[in-house]
Amino acid sequence: MYPSIGNKFSYKRIISSEEVIQFANLSGDTNSLHLDPEYASTTNFKKPIIHGFFLSSLISKIAGTMIKRGVLLLSNSSMYVSPAYPGEELTVECVVKHIHLSLKIVEFDTKIFSSEKAILRGKMTLQITD
């Protein structure tokens, strides 16, 4: 069964400092802004922030497990509106905006936010493979 226009998929997640370190090790992005509290305190962020690509990857859970079995990510674009910090509760949300049945393609608006601010806004396109 295909999702319908307007369907919303969401979940909440808290990313720990340890997970930020794991992501840095996996990705190779060891930027001090993410890992070094002393350095981060000298920036306008005041403390380490979560990698943007780590945040974008949270959308993958919705694509891969919540929408429909057998989907292929065709594209994902993200604009980072505000920083996210380890320990902050995040809500990840995708809303169906367009469906192209003949192509088996579904387009979504994506966002990540906390109770206080918008963090990420973007778009995702999936192809249904079964």
**Using H for helix, E for strand and C for coil, what is the string for the chain?**
CCCCCCCEEEEEEECCHHHHHHHHHHHCCCCHHHHCHHHHCCCCCCCCCCCHHHHHHCHHHHHHHHCCCCEEEEEEEEEECCCCCCCCEEEEEEEEEEEEHHHCEEEEEEEEECCCCEEEEEEEEEEECC
Cβ(40)–Cβ(49) under 8 Å?
yes
Whether the pLDDT of residue 130 is over 90: the answer is: no
65-74: average pLDDT: 88
Predicted local confidence at residue 69, as pLDDT: 80
User: Residue 72 domain-assigned?
Assistant: yes
User: Residue 87 domain-assigned?
Assistant: yes
Domain total for the chain? 1
Which CATH number fits the domain that encloses residue 88?
A: 3.10.129.10
Residue-range definition of the domain harbouring residue 56: 8-128
User: Residue 69 domain-assigned?
Assistant: yes
* Cα separation, 128 vs 126, whole angstroms: 6
Whether the pLDDT of residue 121 is over 90: the answer is: yes
Burial class (CB in 10 A: 0-12, 13-18, 19+), 24: middle
In sequence order, the 6+-apart residues with CB closer than 8 A to the CB of 64 are 71
* Cα separation, 125 vs 101, whole angstroms: 13
Whether the pLDDT of residue 2 is over 80: the answer is: no
User: Residue 17 domain-assigned?
Assistant: yes
User: Residue 2 domain-assigned?
Assistant: no
Whether the pLDDT of residue 1 is over 90: the answer is: no
User: Residue 1 domain-assigned?
Assistant: no
Predicted local confidence at residue 95, as pLDDT: 97
Amino acid at 104: K
User: Residue 3 domain-assigned?
Assistant: no
46-71: average pLDDT: 93
User: Residue 98 domain-assigned?
Assistant: yes
